[in-house]
């Protein structure tokens, strides 16, 4: 074998980093990670760099000659870290609170070293079988029926669910013949609430169903799909010549974590023979807590369901589960085996070749980290952590409800709190929006916390999302303290805006405590 020269390590026979160098740098890297996590709160949660700053600090060409690992790791500290927003910090409360926990990192490391594709069972039997077992464990924890087939994806696999739903339509042969230019095929339509995640609409775009093929259904006063409107829409569409084929219900919407009435939606799906997909990306994990099993009520009737361990199960990104009770349809839609991938394991195996159920080849071994997380924390440990996050959210909700000049804008079922600052006498929506935007800006500029916003019935809404494993009551007190301090700093600038008159009545309409 050619002997290559690694400038630091001397001779290497592999061409790769010398094994002893890997050991040395690997240890350094683990030390770096430990120190990072110990000191993660010393960084501003939201990166403070200006746009383009990172790019302009980097060379415009890749190095011609090898560089030392010391130089590279030094540049991570010097050039990369200032441009990081710290999603894994306990003060990260924007979007959803997420975690890459210790056991998840261990799984990721191992995964990087093994670097497999689980396209065929034989291309790493353990990768397929461990995944099947781990997802069956999770299924049991969530109280879902035995008959579900589970598979891990990098992202929420609503696209896969809809492909299967489309395949379920009899006699259309869309897989083979496509949709375009076929006058005999009615236009397909599926349904989701106005609060559904953007990935649902993107799936409609990608599948050639088009944005018009997704009809968005209105919601009730707690942001849940209006089932009567759903049924009306389906009837109307049938009359107008559309072909309804699926409904996507959301358990835990991204904006307010509202939970669609799945049992009633399932009734409609049965009545009209529609595929029911449940998007429980974030909230599904809550069903691990026995007293919160209700979040998945009715989901045993779904044809498919997503839950993302990378949302609220302390597992790093790239770990989303798709369960379906009709894997044969997923397979019928997506199985395509070129000669070079013909499985030679022979008949008699009931182990799936996961590439038959996926749009792309299923790369990597994401079950490893989930398996490690589930074993390291145990069902009880996961349960405790999720319950604690909900307790913290309720605590914050309580503080909001009992503090003048604050109002909650959505029920707090889980670990996300939606609210806004609403000073007495200030009832102009534009002014309230500007004020709340400034509050978020002040809190984020403080560096200890990161908050994002949403819009609830058109109202600009502050969102506090609790979900990082390291977030404690002290952090929640901290963010609450920061928010009130931001309001105090705004007092002077808003004094002139506070009117009298009927604003008292306006206040009555948005008294705290509407959502208990
Ligand atoms: C986060 C989220 C998604 C998207 O999940 P990815 O895994 O990032 O694709 C979809 N639906 C809901 C309700 C979500 O909260």
Residue 347 CA, ligand 1 centroid: distance in Å? 38
Nearest Cα residue to atom 8 of ligand 1: 155
Q: Which residues 6+ apart lie within 8 Å of 369 measured at CB?
A: 103, 104, 105, 106, 107, 108, 111, 315, 316, 319
Q: Is 221 exposed, middle or buried (0-12, 13-18, 19+ CB in 10 A)?
A: exposed
Q: What is the pLDDT of residues 413-444, one digit of tens each?
A: 999 999 999 999 999 999 999 999 999 999 99
Give the CA angle between residues 395, 401, 405 to the nearest 5°.
Answer: 130
Joined together, the tokens standing for residue 121 give 């069972």
Residue 282 CA, ligand 1 centroid: distance in Å? 7
Closest CA to 466 of 309, 282, 294: 282
DSSP 93: -
Q: What is the pLDDT of residue 8?
A: 58
Q: What is the pLDDT of residue 149?
A: 97
DSSP 135-177: HHHHHHHTT--TT-EEEEESS--HHHHHHHHHHTSTT--HHHH
**Beta-strand pair 188-193/214-217:** parallel
| Plot region of 181 (φ>0 → left; ψ -120 to 50 → alpha; else → beta) | left
Ligand 1 cavity residues, CB under 6 Å: 155-156, 197, 199, 250, 252-254, 279, 281-282, 308, 311, 320
Q: What is the pLDDT of residues 147-194, one digit of tens each?
A: 999 999 999 889 999 999 999 998 999 999 999 999 999 999 999 999
Nearest ligand 1 atom to the CA of 251 is: 13
Closest CA to 469 of 329, 310, 341: 310
Nearest ligand 1 atom to the CA of 252 is: 13
Q: What is the pLDDT of residue 338?
A: 78
Residue 320 CA, ligand 1 centroid: distance in Å? 9
Q: Which of 279, 317, 319 to mutate to test ligand 1, by most ligand atoms within 8 A of the CB atom?
A: 279
Nearest ligand 1 atom to the CA of 282 is: 15
The ranges of the chain with pLDDT < 50 are 1-5, 500-516
Residue 281 CA, ligand 1 centroid: distance in Å? 5
Between CA 48 and CA 139 the distance in angstroms is 41
Q: What is the pLDDT of residue 9?
A: 56
Q: What is the pLDDT of residues 10-34, one digit of tens each?
A: 667 788 999 999 999 999 999 999 9
Q: What is the pLDDT of residue 2?
A: 41
Q: What is the pLDDT of residue 345?
A: 60
**Beta-strand pair 149-153/320-324:** antiparallel
């Amino acid at each position: 074998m050619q002997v290559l020269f690694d400038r630091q390590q001397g001779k290497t026979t592999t061409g790769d980093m010398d094994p002893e160098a890997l050991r040395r740098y690997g240890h350094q890297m683990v030390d770096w990670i430990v120190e990072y996590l110990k000191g993660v709160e010393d960084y501003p949660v939201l990166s403070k760099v200006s746009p383009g700053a990172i790019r302009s600090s980097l060379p415009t060409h890749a190095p011609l000659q090898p560089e030392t690992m010391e130089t590279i790791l030094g540049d991570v500290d010097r050039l990369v870290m200032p441009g990081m927003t710290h999603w894994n910090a306990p003060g990260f409360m924007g979007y959803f609170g997420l975690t890459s926990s210790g056991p998840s990192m261990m799984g990721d490391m191992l995964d990087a070293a093994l670097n497999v594709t689980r396209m065929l069972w034989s291309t790493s039997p353990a990768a397929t079988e461990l995944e099947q077992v781990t997802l069956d464990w999770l299924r049991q924890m969530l109280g879902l029926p035995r008959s579900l087939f589970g598979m891990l994806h990098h992202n929420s696999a609503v696209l896969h669910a809809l492909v299967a739903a489309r395949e379920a339509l009899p006699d259309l042969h869309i897989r083979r013949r496509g949709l375009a230019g076929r006058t005999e095929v009615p236009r397909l339509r599926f349904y989701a609430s106005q609060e559904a995640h953007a990935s649902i609409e993107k799936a409609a775009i990608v599948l050639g169903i088009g944005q018009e093929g997704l009809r968005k259904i209105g919601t009730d006063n707690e942001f849940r799909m209006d089932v009567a409107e759903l049924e009306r829409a389906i009837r109307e569409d049938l009359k107008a010549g559309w072909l309804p084929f699926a409904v996507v219900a959301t358990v835990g919407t991204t904006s307010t974590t509202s939970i669609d009435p799945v049992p009633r939606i399932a009734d409609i799906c049965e009545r009209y023979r529609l595929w029911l997909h449940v998007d429980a990306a974030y909230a599904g994990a809550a069903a691990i807590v026995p007293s919160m099993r209700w979040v998945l009520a009715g989901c045993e009737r779904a044809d498919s369901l997503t839950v993302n361990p990378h949302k609220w199960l302390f597992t790093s990104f790239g770990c989303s589960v798709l369960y379906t009770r009709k894997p044969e349809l997923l397979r019928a839609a997506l199985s395509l085996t070129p000669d070079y991938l013909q499985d030679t394991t022979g008949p008699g195996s009931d182990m799936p070749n996961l590439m038959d159920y996926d749009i792309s080849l299923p790369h990597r071994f994401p079950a490893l980290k989930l398996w490690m997380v589930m074993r390291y924390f145990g069902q009880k440990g996961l349960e405790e952590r999720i319950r604690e996050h909900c307790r913290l959210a309720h605590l914050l909700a309580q503080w909001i409800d009992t503090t003048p000049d604050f109002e909650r804008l959505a029920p707090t079922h889980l670990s996300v709190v939606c609210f806004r600052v609403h000073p007495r006498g200030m009832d102009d929506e534009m002014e309230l929006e500007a004020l709340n935007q400034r509050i978020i800006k002040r809190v984020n500029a403080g560096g200890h916390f990161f908050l994002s916003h949403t819009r609830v019935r058109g109202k600009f809404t502050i969102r506090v999302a609790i979900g990082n494993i390291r977030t404690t009551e002290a952090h929640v007190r901290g963010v609450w303290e920061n928010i009130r301090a931001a309001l105090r700093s705004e007092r002077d600038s808003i004094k002139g805006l506070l009117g009298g008159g009927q604003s008292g009545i306006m206040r009555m309409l948005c008294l705290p405590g509407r959502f208990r």
